[in-house]
Structure 1
Amino acid sequence: MTTSDTQAPPEKGLARAAQALARATEKWFPDAYIFALVGVIVVAVAAFANGSSPQNVVDAFGNGFWDLTAFTLQMAMVVLTGYVVATSPPVARLITRLALMPNSPSSAVSFVALLSCSVSFLNWGLSLVFSGLLARAIARRDDLRVDYRALGAAAFMGLGAVWALGMSSSAAQLQATAASLPPTLLSVTGVLDFGKTIFTWQSLLTCLIITVITVVIAHLSAPKGAAIKTAESMEVDLDDTIKAPAPRTRPGEWLEYSRILPLLAGAMTLGWLVSQLLTLPVLSVVSSLNGYLLVFLMLGLVLHGTPRRFLDAVTRAVPATAGILVQFPLYASMAAILTKAEGRGGVTISEHLANFFTDIGSGGGFAVVIAVYTVILGLFVPSGGGKWLVEAPYVMQSATDVQMNLGWTVQIYNVAEALPNLSNPFFMLPLLAVLGLRARDLIGFTFLQFIFHFPVVLLLVWLLGMTFEFVPPVIPGQ
C-alpha cells in the first residue's frame, strides 16, 4: 500500500458507510457451507420438536440427500458455461473495448454495475466472470484512477440485484422443467413456463427498477480523490494473459487444435435449436434448462475455437463450481426432512408452514411476508435453486390456498432471493477468484445496496402483486 493511500482522509457519504459495513459483516460471517450444515441441524431439531421420530428424521436426511443430483449438475453447469463463454477470445476483445468507455471513476463503477445487471439477465455465471474481467480491464487503464473495491462490488451486482429475475433463474428454470421438479412440488404447482414468471411485464418492470437503483447507488458510493484504493495499492496482479496451449507434439493431437469439430458441433446445436423453435412453443424452448445449458456450452466451444482451448477454460472453471457440488445435497436433505418427516398427527413441518402462510391471507400482506421470509432464509441457505426446493412446497401450497398467482409467487421469491447475496459472500467466491480480492473488500459496498434494495423490493411485490389474477395450476396427469 502506498503512503498516499495509507494517509488518505476518511471517506465520506455512502462510500464511508460502505466501508463501515464491510468491517462489521466480514467479521461475523463464516463460510457458506457452515450455514448449510447449521440449516440441516436446525431443520432436524424442528422435526423432533414436531414429534417426528429419530428414525423418520434420519431416513428423510439420508434418502433425500441425492434428490437434487440432476439439478446440482445443472446449476454447476450454469457457472461453468458462463465462465467458459466469458473467458473466450472474442468476449475478451469485447471487454477490452468496453473498458475504454467510462471517463470518470464514478461512471466506471456505475458502468460495470449496469453491464453486470444486463448480462446477468442472460446468465448469472457469465455475469460474474464477464463483469470481473471488465473491472480488471478498467483497473489496468493508466489514464483513469478508479477504486478497485467499488469496481469489484459493481461487478457482483448482477448476482446481487437481478439475476433471479433473468433467464438463468434457478427457481423459474426449475418450475419450467417438469423433469427437474420433485413430485411433491409438481403436484402443487404444475409446470410454469417463462411466460408466467420471467417474461411478465411486472417482472420485467421490477428488473428495470432494481437495475436503475443499483446503478445510481454504485455511482454515488464510489470513492473519489484520495479515498480511492487502486488495484496497484492493494497489490493485486492485473495480468490477465492466458497462457497459450502447448504446441501439439503428436499426430493424435491434431483434432485437439483444429476448428473443425467445434464448428460442426456448433452447427448441430444451431440446427437443433431451430428445430425446437419451429416445432414447439417459443416459451417452452427458452424455458428449458437443459436446452439453455446445451446452447451456452456449445457457444463456449465455438468461441474458444479449438477443443484444447475450450478444455483449458473448463479446467479453470471447475473450481468455481465446488460450493454448489457440496452444498446442494444438504439442501436436498433439508427439503426432505421438511416434507417427509411426519410428526404428530402425521403432519410435516412443511404442512405447518403452509398453514401459517395461508393464515396471513391473500394480497399484499402475503407477498410482503413471503419476501421477508425468503430474505431471512437466504442468509442461511445462499442458493436460489436449493432454497427454492426447501421453501417452494409450503409457499406454493399457501399461494394456492389464498389464490395468489403462482407465477408471481415465484417472482416474489426471485426478487427477494437475490437480496441475501448482498450480505452473504457465498456466491462472491467465483468473482473473488477473478478479482484477486477478499469478501471483506466488497461486502460493505454490497450491503449498502441491500439497505436501499430491501424496502423497494417489499413495495414492488406488494403493489405489482395486486395486478395479477389467480390461475389454477395445471397438474400433469390430472
Structure 2
Amino acid sequence: MLQTLSRPLSRFVERWLPGPLILAIILTAIVSAMALTMTDIGVGDLILGWGDGLTGLLAFMTQVSLVLLLGFTLANTRPVHRLLVRVASVPRTPRQAYGFVTIIAGIGSLISFGLGLIVGGVISVEVARVARSRGVKLHYPLLVASAYSGFVVWHMGYSGSGPLNAATEGGAYSSLPGGLVDVTRTTFSSWNISATVVTLVVIAGAMMLLAPKEHEYIAPAPDAVFDAVEAPADSADPEADRSRTPADRLEHLRLFTLALGALLGAYLVLYFGKNGFDLTLDIVNWTFLALIMLLVGNAKELAALIVRGGRTVGEVLLQYPLYAGIIGMMSVSGLVDVISGFFIDISTPGTLGLWTFFAAGLLNMFVPSGGGQFTVMAPLFAEPARALGVDQSVVIMAISYGDQWTNMIQPFWAIPLLAVAGLKVRDILGYTFITLLLSGIIFAGVLLIIGAG
C-alpha cells in the first residue's frame, strides 16, 4: 500500500514541484491573496507589512544559520567523520540501510536540527559509498528521503525552538498565563519521549517497506556526491611545515582551538550550574562550538570546514527573509488570528491540542520557521488553554508537532541536507509524503490521548 501511494506522488512532484525559492515566492502570492480576501487590510498596508516583516527574523535567522553551519562543521571534524564512516558500514541489506539512515538522522535531529540535517546528508552518502563497494544496490532517492524523514522528530528534542522559547525569559511565555514552562514538562515529558520513540520506529519501518524490488528501477547515487563529502585532509605534512611562516605555524597549532573549546566548556558548566537545564538556541550553538573546538585539528582546518559548510546555509539566508515577510503580512492583516480563531472556536478541552496541531501544520506551510511560528501562535492559543483548563505543555508541543509534521512536504528545511546529498527536492518528496501521513496519525493520536487525560 505504501509503495502504491508513493509512486504516483513521486511522479507528480518530479513533474510539478518548483524549487524552494520559487515556492517561497508562490506562497507569498497566496498569502497576499488570502489576506486581501479574508481580512479588511488594504494593498498598501499589506505591502508595508511585508516589507517591514522582511527583517523580523534576522536574529533568529543568525541563530538558525549557526546551527546549520556548526552542525556541518561538527559532522565533518575528523573524529566525528571517522565515526560516521564506521557507522555507515553497519547496514548489510538495502532495507536495513533505509531504516538505519532514518534512525541515525532522527537521533541527530533530536540533538540539534542542524546536526540532524547534515548528519542525514553525510550518512546517506557514506552508506551509499559502502553499499557500492559491497555490490549492494540502493535506491538513492529513497535513502536520502529516509534521512529527511528522520527530521520529522526534531521539534521533540534538545534544540526544539518552541519548548526552548516557552522556557526562556523574554520568550513568548514570559507574559502569558502561568509564566514560563520548563522543558521537563514539554521536551522531557514521558509522553513526548514515548511519542518520539514510536514515531522513529514507525517511520523507519515504513522506509524499509518502500524499498523497490529487484526487478524495479533502482536509481544509484551520482558519482559526484562521493567527492562532495570527505574528511578534512591531514595537515601533518613535514615538507609544508618547513616552509611555513611563524603566522602559518600559529594557525596550525591545536593549542588555540583547544583553549577556546575549554573556555566555552567552562562557561557551559557554569551556566548550567547557575541556571539549571535551561536550554536556548544560543546555548545549543555554544555547546556545538565547544565540541568543534575540542575536536578540530587547528584553526586552519576549521576555516576550511566553515568554507565548505557555507553551501548548507546560502539558500536559507536568501529565503528566510521571504518567510519573515510572510509572517509580517499574516500579522499586520490579522490573517493568523483568522486561521487560529477558526480552530480555537471548534476546540474542546479534549481536542484543543489536536486542533492546535492542525493549525500549526497549516501555518508551517507558509512560515517554515519553528521559532517564528511559535512566537506568532503561542499567544493566540495560550489563553484558550487557560480558559479550557488545558495544560500549557499540550499547546506548546502541539505547535511543535505541527511545525515538524508538514516539513515533510514543505521543502525549505530539506535544502541543507540535499546540498550535501546532491539531490533535488522533487527527488524525495514522494517518499516523505508517506512520512507525513504516518507521523500525522501518531502526533494526532498522542495529543488526543493527552487531551483526554
Q: TM-score, normalised by structure 1?
A: 0.84
Residue 423 in structure 1 maps to residue 418 in structure 2: no
The answer to whether the Cα contact below 8 Å between 2:166 and 2:182 also exists between their aligned partners in 1 is yes
Correspondence for 2:373: 387
Change (3 A) 1:297 1:106: same
Residues 207-226 of structure 1 correspond to what in structure 2 (within 5 A)?
A: 207-226=196-215
Correspondence for 2:299: 307
Where structure 2 has 5 or more consecutive residues not aligned to the other structure, the ranges are none
- Partner SS for 2:55: coil
Shift of 1:355: 4.0
Residues 7-26 of structure 1 correspond to what in structure 2 (within 5 A)?
A: 14-15=2-3, 17-26=5-14
Shift of 1:169: 1.5
Distance in 1, matches of 2:219 and 2:15, equals 23
Correspondence for 2:395: 409
The answer to whether the Cα contact below 8 Å between 2:312 and 2:420 also exists between their aligned partners in 1 is no
Change (3 A) 1:29 1:390: farther
Shift of 1:425: 2.3
Identify which of 241, 252, 255 aligns with 2:250.
Answer: 255
Distance in 2, matches of 1:86 and 1:412, equals 30
Shift of 1:71: 1.1
Identify which of 338, 363, 371 aligns with 2:357.
Answer: 371
User: What are the superposed Cα offsets for residues 267-299 of structure 1, whole Å, 9 maximum, x if unpaired?
Assistant: 1111112212222222x2xx1221111111221
Shift of 1:257: 1.0
Residues 167-178 of structure 1 correspond to what in structure 2 (within 5 A)?
A: 167-178=158-169
Residue 439 in structure 1 maps to residue 430 in structure 2: no
Correspondence for 1:244: 233
Distance in 2, matches of 1:154 and 1:136, equals 12
Number of aligned residue pairs: 441
Correspondence for 1:265: 260
Correspondence for 2:288: 296
Distance in 1, matches of 2:101 and 2:60, equals 30
Shift of 1:352: 4.2
Change (3 A) 1:204 1:308: same
Identify which of 76, 86, 101 aligns with 1:112.
Answer: 101
The answer to whether the Cα contact below 8 Å between 2:312 and 2:415 also exists between their aligned partners in 1 is yes
Correspondence for 2:270: 275
Correspondence for 1:471: none
Deviates more, 1:265-274 or 1:400-409: 400-409
Residue 335 in structure 1 maps to residue 321 in structure 2: no
Deviates more, 1:239-248 or 1:134-143: 239-248
Residue 103 in structure 1 maps to residue 95 in structure 2: no
Correspondence for 1:9: none
- Give 1:307's aligned amino acid: A
Distance in 2, matches of 1:300 and 1:450, equals 33
Shift of 1:445: 1.8
Shift of 1:356: 3.2
- Partner SS for 2:199: helix
Shift of 1:109: 1.3
- Partner SS for 1:325: helix
Distance in 2, matches of 1:426 and 1:288, equals 23
- Partner SS for 2:18: coil
- Partner SS for 1:229: coil
The answer to whether the Cα contact below 8 Å between 1:419 and 1:454 also exists between their aligned partners in 2 is yes
User: What are the superposed Cα offsets for residues 424-478 of structure 1, whole Å, 9 maximum, x if unpaired?
Assistant: 32221211121222223222221122222222222221112333xxxxxxxxxxx
Shift of 1:91: 1.1
- Give 1:22's aligned amino acid: S
Shift of 1:47: 4.7
Correspondence for 1:92: 81
- Give 1:100's aligned amino acid: S
Distance in 1, matches of 2:233 and 2:343, equals 56
Distance in 1, matches of 2:337 and 2:423, equals 43
The answer to whether the Cα contact below 8 Å between 2:77 and 2:232 also exists between their aligned partners in 1 is no
Where structure 1 has 5 or more consecutive residues not aligned to the other structure, the ranges are 1-12, 342-347, 468-478
Correspondence for 1:8: none
Residues 341-360 of structure 1 correspond to what in structure 2 (within 5 A)?
A: 341=333, 348-360=334-346
The answer to whether the Cα contact below 8 Å between 1:178 and 1:191 also exists between their aligned partners in 2 is yes
Change (3 A) 1:103 1:177: same
Correspondence for 1:10: none
Identify which of 439, 447, 453 aligns with 1:453.
Answer: 439
Identify which of 120, 125, 129 aligns with 1:136.
Answer: 125
Q: TM-score, normalised by structure 2?
A: 0.88
Distance in 2, matches of 1:385 and 1:34, equals 23
Deviates more, 1:24-33 or 1:430-439: 24-33
Distance in 1, matches of 2:418 and 2:108, equals 18
Residue 191 in structure 1 maps to residue 180 in structure 2: yes
Distance in 1, matches of 2:365 and 2:294, equals 38
Residue 320 in structure 1 maps to residue 332 in structure 2: no
The answer to whether the Cα contact below 8 Å between 1:358 and 1:399 also exists between their aligned partners in 2 is no
- Give 2:109's aligned amino acid: S
Distance in 2, matches of 1:236 and 1:20, equals 28
Change (3 A) 1:32 1:386: farther
The answer to whether the Cα contact below 8 Å between 1:109 and 1:154 also exists between their aligned partners in 2 is yes
- Partner SS for 1:364: coil
Correspondence for 1:345: none
Correspondence for 1:77: 66
- Give 2:416's aligned amino acid: P
- Give 1:61's aligned amino acid: W
User: What are the superposed Cα offsets for residues 198-228 of structure 1, whole Å, 9 maximum, x if unpaired?
Assistant: 1111111111111111111111112232336
